[in-house]
Amino acid sequence: MKQENKSRLIKYIVCICVASLITLVVFWIQGFFTHSIARNLQVLGDGFTVSGALLLMFAGMMFISGEGALIGIGWVLRNAFLTFFPMGRKRHELYRDYRERKLKDAKKSSDHCLLTVGLVFFLIGVAITFIWYYKFYNVTV
């Protein structure tokens, strides 16, 4: 197996383990296997949906961060910190220079393991929620 494929496989395994851990925490918090079938199906749907949504949001934050959308916040916080605690570095770097330096140093990743695993877990959770809705949801008016 190529080194690149092995690295990608390890990333996917880690993402699946993290998503599974989040799912198990949601199960534990809501008390899985302690209720009726309908409630257990709700808990199952919640666990997969929450873990999938968290991974999708984290993937989105990594994307917008990689595109440079949060560079301005970093520049402001850096200058505020250096105002109160001078560290011997150049105190006032122009935003243009700071942005160029950060974008030059940024590494673009073509790996989408967080997005893929998050989407799979989210879709499983939504499918389980739909099954619960059609089988057990009763509105009494």
* Predicted local confidence at residue 76, as pLDDT: 87
Closest CA to 133 of 47, 53, 42: 42
Mean of pLDDT over the chain? 87
pTM of the predicted structure, to 2 decimals: 0.80
Expressed as residue numbers, the domain containing 19 is 1-67+111-134
* Predicted local confidence at residue 2, as pLDDT: 85
Same-domain status, 123 and 99: no
The CA distance from 36 to 138, in Å, is 15
* Predicted local confidence at residue 79, as pLDDT: 81
Same-domain status, 63 and 76: no
Taking CA atoms, 120 is separated from 26, 48, 94, 111, in Å, by: 17, 9, 43, 16
The CA distance from 115 to 54, in Å, is 10
Number of domains in the chain: 2
Positions in the chain whose pLDDT score sits under 70: 88-91, 139-141
Same-domain status, 50 and 22: yes
Residue 141 lies in a domain: no
